[in-house]
Structure 1
Amino acid sequence: MSNISSRTSPDNYFENFAVGQVIAHARGKTVTEMDNVLITNMVMNTAQGHFNEHLMQKSSGIAGFDTRIVFGGINFSMVIGLAAQDTGEQVLQELGMDKIRLKTPVHHGDTLYAFTEVLEKKDADRADAGIVRFKHYGINQHDKLVYEGERTVLMKRRNAWGSR
């Protein structure tokens, strides 16, 4: 049986990130009606703009939308998920997520793409890991910014974990 490090990317340990680095993540994800309605109902979000098409069509002049909008928690989760292969494989602990901004409404059928900027790197209180602060961005298929937020993680150091 091979070791665990042979199953993960060799280039996303603490040492591989540089402050100012920008990563364009490879995948995109189209937001489906199922994504929005299922999760919105599962978390008991009662804002009808997420699941009541008739209401949104009737109030389009007031709300500015004529179709349901996707729950922001889904937008946030998808962008972080799209960034995970490059920024999450060697994470030991999520330390925080803040400065979250939902910038443009997302609708069923929109496709999200993710980018990440490395904001900060610093030593942790343990020798086998360091702390990295990322800023994640999500854009739609029209290159409109839909999400931005910061995420701080405790990340493995290659010299301590790379050969396990």
Structure 2
Amino acid sequence: MSAGDVRGPLARRTGEGTWFEDFHPGDRWRHARGATIDEVENQLLTKMVMNTAQEHWNEHSMADSPWGDSRIVFGMITGSLTVGLTSQDTAENALAELGLTGMRFRAPVFHGDTIYAYTEVLAADPADREDAGTVRFHHWGATADDRIVFECERSVLIKRRSHWFSR
């Protein structure tokens, strides 16, 4: 699968259109921002969480790998960045993050790769409270050359415009 298989229109949601009522199953879009993963993110976070996999921070040990001396970015950095890139358009009116499931790391990411995020709305259901609803999203992260590198499903409790918005 490539990003071409998941992309929709470029997101124009930020600021408007981020209330529960605005999300409809089947909606898809590409988020406007991308972010390049540099060595500092990989080195700092990988070592902070004590991930001892040599592929993340030892160039010498990678010399005989299929990737040469390119260090692989720690998957949780890729996942966090992908979800972060979606958040402005999907969680601007969030009350709570309810769940993150089905995380898949589909291809390696290397220092210097730029990640873009894509979203599809899977469901928008009433919550057990009148002022919000639950939206379930499918998020993808892809490199600039359209390799899907990460995907997950995320559930968010989002405010209803009818209860929170006042002019």
Fold shared, TM-score > 0.5 on shorter chain: yes
For residue 85 of structure 1, report the CA deviation from its aligned partner.
Answer: 0.8
Q: Counterparts in 2 of 1:9-88, with a 5 A limit?
A: 9-57=15-63, 59-60=64-65, 64-66=66-68, 67-88=70-91
Deviations 1:111-131 (Å, cap 9, x if unpaired)? 000000000110000000000
Structure 1 residue aligned with 2:135: 132
Are residue 96 (structure 1) and residue 117 (structure 2) matched?
no
Structure 2 residue aligned with 1:154: 157
Runs (5+) with no aligned partner, structure 2: 1-13
For residue 42 of structure 1, report the CA deviation from its aligned partner.
Answer: 1.1
The runs of at least 4 aligned residues of structure 1 exceeding 3 Å deviation read none
How far apart are the structure 1 equivalents of 2:16 and 2:161?
A: 9
For residue 10 of structure 1, report the CA deviation from its aligned partner.
Answer: 2.4
For residue 163 of structure 1, report the CA deviation from its aligned partner.
Answer: 1.8
Runs (5+) with no aligned partner, structure 1: 1-7
How far apart are the structure 2 equivalents of 1:161 and 1:9?
A: 14
Structure 2 residue aligned with 1:116: 119
Name the Cα RMSD after superposition: 1.1
The one of 116, 125, 145 aligned to 1:142: 145
Deviations 1:98-119 (Å, cap 9, x if unpaired)? 0100001000000000000000
How far apart are the structure 2 equivalents of 1:141 and 1:24?
A: 12
The structure carrying a bigger helix percent of its residues is: 1
How far apart are the structure 1 equivalents of 2:146 and 2:72?
A: 18
How many residues align structurally?
Answer: 153
Structure whose CA Rg is larger: 1
Identical-residue share of aligned pairs (%)? 53
Q: TM-score, normalised by structure 2?
A: 0.89
How far apart are the structure 2 equivalents of 1:71 and 1:84?
A: 21
Query: Counterpart amino acid of 1:65?
Result: W
In structure 2, the residue corresponding to 1:44 is in which secondary structure? coil
Query: Counterpart amino acid of 1:127?
Result: E
In structure 1, the residue corresponding to 2:135 is in which secondary structure? strand
For residue 65 of structure 1, report the CA deviation from its aligned partner.
Answer: 1.9
Q: TM-score, normalised by structure 1?
A: 0.91
In structure 2, the residue corresponding to 1:46 is in which secondary structure? coil
